[in-house]
Amino acid sequence: MILDGKALSEKRLEILKERIEESGLHPHLATVLVGQDPGSQLYVRMKHRACERVGIGSVGIELPETATTQEVLSAVNRLNNDSEISGILVQLPLPAQVDTEQVISAVLPEKDVDGFHPLNIGKLYTGHPGFVPCTPQGVMTILSEYGIETAGKRAVVMGRSVDVGRPMAALLLNADATVTICHSRTRDLATVTREADILISAIGKPRFVTTEMVKEGAVVIDVGTNRDENGKLCGDVDFDAVKERASAITPVPGGVGPMTIATLMENTFAAARARSCGPVL
């Protein structure tokens, strides 16, 4: 079975658009982009297009590549103090001279629709999540919408990044899976991954996950976005080979990526609802 994140995101965005219209609210998302990285510019444009589609207002703050930490903090603080802004997204990665941790911590937790503020990460790890990072939450939505059970299942997460791997593991643990995190120092990696009922890869290596690493009938979620030697977009998983072994698998593109943006839109509406009538998370 192909887990079609694009089709699922289309469905959820249509539902969200109706909910926003019925609510009478006017959510607004602000993005902060530092520099002119083409990939970051593309992602920001996609987020603004999604906002327009569902009826969320959006504003983009662009700063030069040479911006200092203080300049980025000033932009974030202006957005924090703007009552019209429901959610704030600082596009990562930031240039090397900018203190990313300080910037992320400066975003008000109630406007942190990316789910990276230490308070929101802490709430996730205590089992009482507020805003959750969009990509891991998008994965959980895919599993739920396709009726894939997590309770009691063995889940292996490849990658320990703060934005995907670690929160992904926490969400699976909160959903009663037995979770293992693998990383660059994991020994006998394939032995570990073959134990997984649910295998999630977020390592950023093109077609790294082969059939020898996947248990027959496993659910395989590919979070990777890479370019192969020919410049073609691909995931971490050798899709054509692994799809014959897996019971369900996400493609790249068209899998997790669209759900990341859909989740961001849902988080922004949730932030607007919370400001209007109390938390709905």
Query: Taking a C-beta distance cutoff of 8 angstroms, is the pair 196, 181 a contact?
Result: no
Is the backbone peptide bond immediately before 258 cis, with ω within 30 degrees of 0?
Answer: no
Q: Is 273 annotated as a binding residue?
A: no
160 is in an annotated binding site: yes
114 part of the active site: yes
Q: Is 91 a catalytic residue?
A: yes
Long-range contacts of 158-162 (CB under 8 A, 24+ apart): 158/182, 158/183, 158/189, 158/193, 158/199, 158/200, 158/201, 158/202, 158/203, 158/209, 158/236, 159/183, 159/201, 159/202, 159/203, 159/204, 159/223, 161/202, 162/116, 162/121
Annotated catalytic residue 112 = no
159 annotated ligand binder: yes
Of 4, 47, 123, 243, which residue is the catalytic one? 47
How many of the other CB atoms lie within 10 Å of CB of 70?
11
Q: How far apart are CA 105 and CA 186, in angstroms?
A: 30
Name the active-site residue from 4, 111, 112, 114. 114
CB 263 within 8 A of CB 233: no
Q: Is 161 flagged in the annotation as binding?
A: yes
Amino acid (one-letter) located at 69: T
Would you name the residues annotated as active-site residues?
47, 91, 114
Binding site for NADP(+), by residue number, is 159-161, 225
